[in-house]
Structure 1
Amino acid sequence: MSSTDFDDTLTNLAQPKSAATLTIRVIKSFEFRTERSLVLRPVNLEKTTVGELKDIVREAIRTQPGWKPYRTTTFDTLKLYTRAHGAKTTNLIINLDHDDWILDEDSKTLEECGFENETEVSFFNRESYSKFQANPETRWT
């Protein structure tokens, strides 16, 4: 490959479904836009279920340094945020539309839910999300 050549493989196709990279947007507060990202790799999209992904993230929050402020929140819901090369929402914390993107079936594999390499999902408390959705105002104090 010369210096003028480049690999034009789309990043969502660059890794096999058995070794994908996922970004989990762990949202502590919608109102204060408190969010921290957790990058997971390699994740087998063909075998990992929604419920297993929730458990993996909860374990990371419980055991990894820097997550202590998040340990008091009950995280129970995953929602697709964006796929690689897809459109992103204008809301900085979560996409408030597309409630059909909420992943309610813990037994489904991530592949069945449409995950690809470099998919981003939000992980949050469903009750807090419903309250924010009804009144999507942010606070900065």
Structure 2
Amino acid sequence: MTTHEATPARPQVSSGAVFFDDDDRVLLVDPTYKEFWNLPGGGVDADETPRAACVREVREELGLDASIGPLLVVAWTANGPDGKVFFVFDGGVLPPDRRAAIVLDPAELAEYAFVPVERARSLLSEPQWALLAEVLAARADGVTRYVELGQV
């Protein structure tokens, strides 16, 4: 009998939030370091939880101290040698005064926009669109989802 020594996977972990405006348009950000738009968020540091990372990333990227709601989606992707795990939380609806308070970190983001969901498809990569579709479905039916996607 052969003994197999398993090496645990060490996936990268990212966390972000989905926000909407009063017209049910979704907030997307345009990273300076990527081709496609994205949801606000970023990497989880070694000493923080995914929720804490989401709060920090929203503060760093958008200048907002946002109230982060429930977890909507956990997604595993094929990014990197051990994969990547995304946590996406519900940021809720940002009222006009909160939208006006958005201040981008120019080192990370070129711009932001609240876009109709149909338009989001043309701004996101195909895997990011698949992730957003799962996020929207989870938000609509109130059930957290786990999904496995290609590279995001």
TM-score under structure 1 length normalisation: 0.38
User: Taking CA–CA contacts closer than 8 Å with sequence separation of 6 or more, which of the two structures ends up with the larger relative contact order?
Assistant: 1
**More helix by percentage:** 2
TM-score by length of 2: 0.36
Richer in strand (by share)? 2
